[in-house]
Structure 1
Amino acid sequence: MTATSTKAAASAAFPADDYALPERITAGHASRGPRVGDEVWDLHEFLPRTQRERRVIFTDFTPGLQRQTAQEYLYWRMRLRINGQRKPMKPTWLPQEVRSLFRTMEALAKVGAPRLQDVQRHHLEAFLKRSRPSGPSAVHIMVNTLKSLSAVGEHLSADRLSLVPWPYRSAQQIAGLTPRRENGTPRIPEEIMGPFLAGAVFYLEKAGPDILAAAREIKRLEAQIAAGPKEGRGGSEAKIQDFIARRRAAGRGIPALPIQLNKGRPGAPVVDGIVQWPNMQLIGLLAGVRSTNRYTEMVVEVGRSIGFEVGGVPTSRAPWPASGRPWRPEMSRHTLGLEMGFLRTACWIIIAYLSGMRDVEVRELSRDCAVVETATDGRLRYKIHGRVYKDRRLSGDEEEWVVLEIVHRAVDMLLEINDDSTHLFGFTARDGDLGLMRAIPQRLNSFRDHLNELFSTDQGPYIPLPATDAVPGTEDLDEDTDQASEARDAADATPMPWAFDTRQFRRTLAWHIAFQPFGMVAGTRQYKHASFAVFEGYAGTSASGFADEVAADKAVAMLDYVEDLYHDWNDGGRSSGGAANRIEAEFDRIRAELGDLPGTVASPERVRTMLRHLTHTLHPGVLNDCFHHAETAVCEKRSPGLGRPLPMLNMCLTCPNSRRSSVHLPRLHQTREQALQEFGDTTGLPPHQATAIGEFVNTLDTLINELAETGAAR
């Protein structure tokens, strides 16, 4: 042990009676929380309700030296900034870190170092060799834990590392993880997200009212039975017989036991998905009878005669637009509970996807989160007030998101079906306990399967299976070989549905925002990222989120746009702007070479080939397109060395690289109208501001006239 570490060891003492959590975390709470020496740290009072684990358990560690070291380590992780981190560890990470610490210590013990002070270089190499089969991510986590143990070593009282693990290499390098600039979360394909979101909206707008109506009807029937007099056996049997008679007269079958509950009747046959056994609980509710056990055999015999059918609660059901038929069979008490869960999931999808909020931000929303404000132009702006937690203090920071009106309707639905006094997604569970909606990935995939059960047709599932361009493992095979064909056939035989998780919704919306003009700026604000660069990396630049698709995906869209510009020009469309003559000259050269004259048809493939070079400098915009040349770009004078256009409205309108065409004319008109609405009255403004506003409107008038005049820039 070095002299420095020996001195630290002499001064350090195990803080067994200290409070585990720093005072900044427990301020404002009724207690100071657990003490360091406790076998279990109960953090329920201090962590958000969305936190899955709110206890830190040390009983897996050997009592004595090992457990004491684990407790000290976590104590100091919450108080020290180490390994270049800006802040100490948040308590939300403690359950994960204690598991990583246990696995790390266990692995070191198995390679001959049961105590941290025993670890030598050869132990570290053996540790790596033993850990690599678990995968690079697991190695990365454990190496980070080792480096953190080293960083807090001088504060540990009894056991510590006597060396610095891999001092000149990062945990990522050691684990073999390749750093990536772009977020790796996949974007949900549009052919999957479209029907999935449509299904969620249908649940909110159409199925939701039906579910609420069924819930009210069940409550009414229950209240009616509770308020009625107790009946003898004869009275109950008469009510059951009357119920059966009404079902016969209506040509209806006996309400069947929900198939999800069939495990209680393993011998009951299932025909066309309907269990051939009565739902006696529901029958008693519909007949107005408290107890039905003694009538089961009688009802079974009747069911064999008139048949069984799903559901039984008599409520209206909206038609599914594609078929015109009710969106589902009648509900039972059990299926109503399932549908209520699907309705909550649908609301989560709408709020999360149409706001860009993270899962924890959505589920921590309060019941008064929806706010409507009136803008200066009289339009209503719908907002969600919540909290951002990532890279913020434990309690989060207040933020707001601008959303569509349908998000507020989802909030209204949750207010009606949930009863938690504080949390929008909190509700009383069947066992009477107050809970919070959890296991969101599982709920999302269950909702996907449920939509497929309800709305699939003979043509295929409602939520289509994801399309794949290549079969994994066949990249190096000749596509015409039998081996490649067999591999493709095997993959086609086992198609897998898209696996949803919570991060994909935020990622997908980010991509759509980023691909709009000035979308990166808007996305940075909506997503509460610290900087433009962070959002750009999160949103990504490809449809799937993989870097090797960036060029192909973006180039196709850009080439489509350039082709539209060419055809607009070739058909007589007008254009203007500093780059108009240069681009029109290029179009003229291409037309002459192709012979693309009136009455002739040029090859579309050749047209696209000859236009492709223009995509390299094109940056489509709202009020003009930029064919960027750094030597002449006005924005380069304001942002030298940036290497790309920097949108600055007034400069772009007069830049030599700008070009406007018919696609921009409606937008120019709209911008002028908005400018007059906002700044038309310059009374009371300083002269220089009034002059600037007037010049801006005059500039827009000039640009509009250039495009409106016959023969402009042709």
Structure 2
Amino acid sequence: MTTALPIPFDGPSAVFTGADVCREAGLPLPDGCHRPLFEDEVWDFNGVVGLPVQLPICHRHLDFTGIRDLRWRLVAKELLLAMLAPRHPAVAPLPRAHRTALHLRSCVGRLDELTRLFQWLDKRSIASLEALDTRLCEAYLAHRRYVLDEHGAIVGEHSPGTRRAAAQAVVDLVNYRDLFTADRVAATLRPWGGATASAIAEMPSGRTENKTQPVEDAVLQPMLAAALYLVDTLGPHAVQLAHEIREADQYSARRLRGLRKVGAKSRVPAHEIGRVLGEYTDTCTPLPMLEDWYVTLRLADGWDPHDPLLHVATGTLARQAGLSQFATPWMSTLRGPLEDALAQVGVDKPFGQDASPIPTADGQNSLQWTLSLHRLEAVALVGIVRTAAIIATAAISGMRASELMELRIGCRRPPQEPVPGLVRYRIASKVVKGQPLGGTDDEWVVIEPVHRAIGLLEQLHEDPADGALLLGRFAFNVRYQWFKNWVNSDAGQRLGLAPIPDGPVNLRMLRRTLSLEMAYRPGGLLASKIHLKHIAVATTEGYASRPGGAQAELLSEVNKHESERNLQLVLEEFRNYQQGILPAGPGARSLTEFFAGIDEKLDPAAASAPKIQRNDRDVLNLLTKRAKVLHLGPANYCWFTDPSRALCLKLAGTPTADRPLVGMCDSARCPQATHHPCHRPVWAEHAERTKIFLGQLGTPRKTERTRLQADHDRALRVVAEIDAASATMHEESS
């Protein structure tokens, strides 16, 4: 099939001729900045004020040169400007046009797909959009649906998002048909019966579970443990290492200003080199070592592999002496002093020498926080610690990638102490998602580890000027891979860090993991490792402090997961009841009676109406009201049906509160608390530990012995009640 030549067209647009793109789209530009015009082949938005840091450079311009046909190029320009300026007088009357301006990132995606469509039509010698019919629309969707190998055989399918983009390109040509000047689709074209692009692509959005899965526990535990260890233990040493790197660069960089240029015929600087060598010997500092790749170059140039000076960085010594390089002819004269100094102090990597001792992550011993490093290795280690701080901040605060990238130097607010012993930490950033251009200022209430991690990032910043971007735009997937490789390397294992297994990790997954762990507290990995139940208290204060803010959105997600969790827990306990596993504790009788009432409603023989509920959905409908009052304690379930009966509220003097004080719960005495088989290990462990403490108490400590003995007896009683309740109905049924 031959390819059609582009049809010449130099006519102006009927509606946008000479238009200032940024002015029409409402995108502010600083004074004196180049303003893209409609006729430009590339619309450059890089100077627009308020663009999010997360937006890549490649998404800050619209390039129309990929469309060969000049008529179709004009169609693409008119379509994109209409999407950027939906209130334009020529766009607003269109019945199916977008009513809100598209984001630049979305416009780039629309243009990319439109370019693919036009190139696909061009290869099929389609000379006009009038020829685009339903058959061609279906063919293009099939073209974008399947993945083909080099022989044209189908080997897979693209994602629903790809199919939606393909369908959307065709739908846009139909919806904006009346706007186009040079070419347009037929007025009778209604591809896919007028369905939306999402329906055409069979998008699962909103119909199934959230496609962003949480990080697997086997990956999350060692990853977060390593990140917190690096931030708290290696962080201060990494700050000092970064300072040493910057200081060394000032005196040994190859292009440092002030160095005296030398050549092969320059005089031998014996005095200058001797002075530098004297400083090394006086301080007993090893001579700087060359990196392996440079040693390889020396060997290729003919150096003797047994030469004692093979690994000595003579170029670094020359720059420290104020010279631009170490000329090869000098070696014959300076070999003696160099070998003498080498014999006295040796040679070693320049960074990390005599590193301070630290405890290892497993607590087994103490050793130097790092071995000696070359410059690139030192820079990489500082980057690993910076990545650890990013991981800790993202995993514990739940901030999105866009919100992390908007952080700036000085974003930490002074700690507040509203009551003695309760310190609140805040950080300031911007919410970008769903906000107008420039974002919306917001604050996050965080816990102290996040506050420390951000403080570490400020200290590691190369130019910590107030208001400078703290992180800027970064690729988390790449940084995390480096972090995992380092933890799993000899360097990480040397410090006692647990290896991180393979598994996907990204910022969206970390945010979802946090929301799920908060919803399922007090159980869960994060809760046990970094006391998420305390994190939940701190962050929830922030989530409620600004309705509609970013933390409020995360709280809404947490509440949704919490409701789902409660329903599943109530259903599990109801199924346990049906199998003869009964609850224990002061509130057991009330809960058992409730389950018995539900079970009676499900009994076909006792049903007074023809309708019988049998499946889980029907059972959940009956259990929903009780699930709304369920609260999880560390060793019990609290059924907060009547605040006046809640023991914790009586002890706190707040009988009218609408939530229980789980931290003050005495589930062995509260009439609304129940114990279940899942709580038995907690009580059994508590009884065992209390027994050990009792055995270690001396005879004079009678008061403490009495208190611990009562606590031990209570734990044993609860364990016995759980066992008895689980066995009661089994005995009755047998």
Q: What's the TM-score bracket when you normalise by the shorter of the two chains?
A: 0.5 to 0.7
Residue 256 of structure 1: how far off its partner (Å): 3.5
Assess, with a 3 A threshold, how the Cα gap between structure 1 residues 555 and 118 changes in structure 2: closer, same or farther: same
Q: In the alignment, is the contact (CA less than 8 A) between 1:440 and 1:501 conserved in 2?
A: yes
Assess, with a 3 A threshold, how the Cα gap between structure 1 residues 17 and 171 changes in structure 2: closer, same or farther: same
The amino acid that maps onto 1:321 is A
Q: In the alignment, is the contact (CA less than 8 A) between 1:65 and 1:158 conserved in 2?
A: yes
Bigger mean CA offset, 188-197 vs 255-264? 255-264
Counterpart in the other structure of 1:641: none
Q: 1:512 aligns with which of 517, 525, 530?
A: 517
Counterpart in the other structure of 1:217: 244
Q: Distance in 1 between matches of 2:495 and 2:34?
A: 61
Q: Distance in 1 between matches of 2:128 and 2:550?
A: 45
Q: Distance in 2 between matches of 1:359 and 1:332?
A: 32
Q: 2:43 aligns with which of 25, 29, 41?
A: 41
Q: Secondary structure at the match of 1:141?
A: helix
Assess, with a 3 A threshold, how the Cα gap between structure 1 residues 98 and 151 changes in structure 2: closer, same or farther: same
Residue 344 of structure 1: how far off its partner (Å): 2.6
Counterpart in the other structure of 1:61: 67
Q: In the alignment, is the contact (CA less than 8 A) between 1:13 and 1:157 conserved in 2?
A: yes
Q: Distance in 2 between matches of 1:141 and 1:706?
A: 58
Task: Determine whether 1:70 maps to 2:103.
Answer: no
Q: In the alignment, is the contact (CA less than 8 A) between 1:188 and 1:508 conserved in 2?
A: yes
Task: Determine whether 1:106 maps to 2:136.
Answer: no
Residue 74 of structure 1: how far off its partner (Å): 0.7
Q: In the alignment, is the contact (CA less than 8 A) between 1:243 and 1:287 conserved in 2?
A: no
Q: Secondary structure at the match of 2:441?
A: strand
Counterpart in the other structure of 2:192: 166
Q: In the alignment, is the contact (CA less than 8 A) between 1:328 and 1:454 conserved in 2?
A: no
Task: Determine whether 1:257 maps to 2:284.
Answer: no
Q: In the alignment, is the contact (CA less than 8 A) between 1:70 and 1:98 conserved in 2?
A: yes
The amino acid that maps onto 1:182 is E
How big is each residue's C-alpha offset from its partner over 1:73-130, in whole Å with a ceiling of 9 and x where there is no partner?
Answer: 1100112388696622112323332212211211232344343232112211221232
Q: Distance in 1 between matches of 2:97 and 2:367?
A: 61
Task: Determine whether 1:417 maps to 2:460.
Answer: yes
Give the percent of matched residue pairs that are identical in Structure 1 and Structure 2.
Answer: 19
The amino acid that maps onto 1:174 is I
Q: Distance in 1 between matches of 2:125 and 2:103?
A: 32
Task: Determine whether 1:321 maps to 2:323.
Answer: no
Residue 576 of structure 1: how far off its partner (Å): 6.3
Residue 386 of structure 1: how far off its partner (Å): 1.8
Assess, with a 3 A threshold, how the Cα gap between structure 1 residues 579 and 398 changes in structure 2: closer, same or farther: same
The amino acid that maps onto 1:327 is W
Assess, with a 3 A threshold, how the Cα gap between structure 1 residues 244 and 569 changes in structure 2: closer, same or farther: same
What do you get for the CA RMSD once the two structures are aligned?
A: 5.5
Task: Determine whether 1:348 maps to 2:396.
Answer: no
Q: Distance in 2 between matches of 1:315 and 1:292?
A: 28
Q: Distance in 2 between matches of 1:119 and 1:356?
A: 47
Counterpart in the other structure of 2:380: 338
Bigger mean CA offset, 52-61 vs 516-525? 516-525
Counterpart in the other structure of 1:472: none
Assess, with a 3 A threshold, how the Cα gap between structure 1 residues 243 and 267 changes in structure 2: closer, same or farther: farther
Q: In the alignment, is the contact (CA less than 8 A) between 1:23 and 1:32 conserved in 2?
A: no
Bigger mean CA offset, 347-356 vs 176-185? 176-185
Q: In the alignment, is the contact (CA less than 8 A) between 1:255 and 1:312 conserved in 2?
A: no
The amino acid that maps onto 2:390 is W
Q: Secondary structure at the match of 1:411?
A: helix
Assess, with a 3 A threshold, how the Cα gap between structure 1 residues 424 and 244 changes in structure 2: closer, same or farther: closer
Counterpart in the other structure of 1:594: none
Residue 356 of structure 1: how far off its partner (Å): 1.0
Q: In the alignment, is the contact (CA less than 8 A) between 1:284 and 1:292 conserved in 2?
A: yes
Q: Distance in 1 between matches of 2:575 and 2:291?
A: 54
Assess, with a 3 A threshold, how the Cα gap between structure 1 residues 257 and 140 changes in structure 2: closer, same or farther: farther
Q: In the alignment, is the contact (CA less than 8 A) between 2:78 and 2:180 conserved in 1?
A: yes
Residue 515 of structure 1: how far off its partner (Å): 2.1
Q: Secondary structure at the match of 2:21?
A: coil
Q: 1:388 aligns with which of 423, 431, 434?
A: 431
Gaps in structure 2 of 5+ consecutive residues? 1-10, 87-91, 148-157, 261-266, 523-532, 599-613, 633-637, 674-713, 726-734
Q: In the alignment, is the contact (CA less than 8 A) between 1:221 and 1:286 conserved in 2?
A: no
Alignment of 1:489-500 (within 5 A): 497-500=502-505
Q: Distance in 2 between matches of 1:260 and 1:402?
A: 48
The amino acid that maps onto 1:157 is T
Q: 2:137 aligns with which of 124, 133, 139?
A: 124
Task: Determine whether 1:87 maps to 2:100.
Answer: yes
Task: Determine whether 1:156 maps to 2:180.
Answer: yes
Alignment of 1:539-554 (within 5 A): none
Q: Distance in 1 between matches of 2:294 and 2:76?
A: 46
Residue 143 of structure 1: how far off its partner (Å): 1.1
Q: Distance in 2 between matches of 1:438 and 1:143?
A: 32
Bigger mean CA offset, 193-202 vs 453-462? 453-462
Counterpart in the other structure of 1:206: 233
Q: Distance in 1 between matches of 2:237 and 2:43?
A: 45
Q: In the alignment, is the contact (CA less than 8 A) between 1:375 and 1:381 conserved in 2?
A: yes
The amino acid that maps onto 1:146 is V
Counterpart in the other structure of 2:446: 403
Counterpart in the other structure of 2:678: none
Q: Distance in 1 between matches of 2:288 and 2:425?
A: 44
Number of aligned residues? 578
Assess, with a 3 A threshold, how the Cα gap between structure 1 residues 117 and 21 changes in structure 2: closer, same or farther: farther
Assess, with a 3 A threshold, how the Cα gap between structure 1 residues 140 and 221 changes in structure 2: closer, same or farther: closer
Q: Secondary structure at the match of 2:67?
A: coil
Q: 1:143 aligns with which of 131, 152, 167?
A: 167
Counterpart in the other structure of 1:492: none
Counterpart in the other structure of 1:688: none
How big is each residue's C-alpha offset from its partner over 1:26-73, in whole Å with a ceiling of 9 and x where there is no partner?
Answer: 347435831121122111122223211222222222262122111111
Residue 514 of structure 1: how far off its partner (Å): 2.6
Task: Determine whether 1:501 maps to 2:484.
Answer: no
Q: In the alignment, is the contact (CA less than 8 A) between 1:217 and 1:313 conserved in 2?
A: no
Task: Determine whether 1:579 maps to 2:603.
Answer: no
Q: Distance in 1 between matches of 2:574 and 2:322?
A: 67
Q: Distance in 2 between matches of 1:258 and 1:539?
A: 54
How big is each residue's C-alpha offset from its partner over 1:542-566, in whole Å with a ceiling of 9 and x where there is no partner?
Answer: 9xxxxxxx99xx6799579979xx9
Assess, with a 3 A threshold, how the Cα gap between structure 1 residues 262 and 390 changes in structure 2: closer, same or farther: farther
Assess, with a 3 A threshold, how the Cα gap between structure 1 residues 16 and 85 changes in structure 2: closer, same or farther: closer
Residue 703 of structure 1: how far off its partner (Å): 10
Q: Secondary structure at the match of 1:166?
A: helix
Q: Secondary structure at the match of 2:521?
A: coil
Task: Determine whether 1:370 maps to 2:397.
Answer: no
Q: Distance in 1 between matches of 2:556 and 2:110?
A: 29
Q: Distance in 2 between matches of 1:344 and 1:184?
A: 29
Q: Distance in 1 between matches of 2:317 and 2:650?
A: 66
Residue 24 of structure 1: how far off its partner (Å): 6.3
Assess, with a 3 A threshold, how the Cα gap between structure 1 residues 559 and 152 changes in structure 2: closer, same or farther: same
Q: Secondary structure at the match of 2:146?
A: helix
Q: In the alignment, is the contact (CA less than 8 A) between 1:510 and 1:538 conserved in 2?
A: yes
Gaps in structure 1 of 5+ consecutive residues? 1-9, 428-435, 466-496, 543-549, 587-612, 620-626, 636-643, 677-691
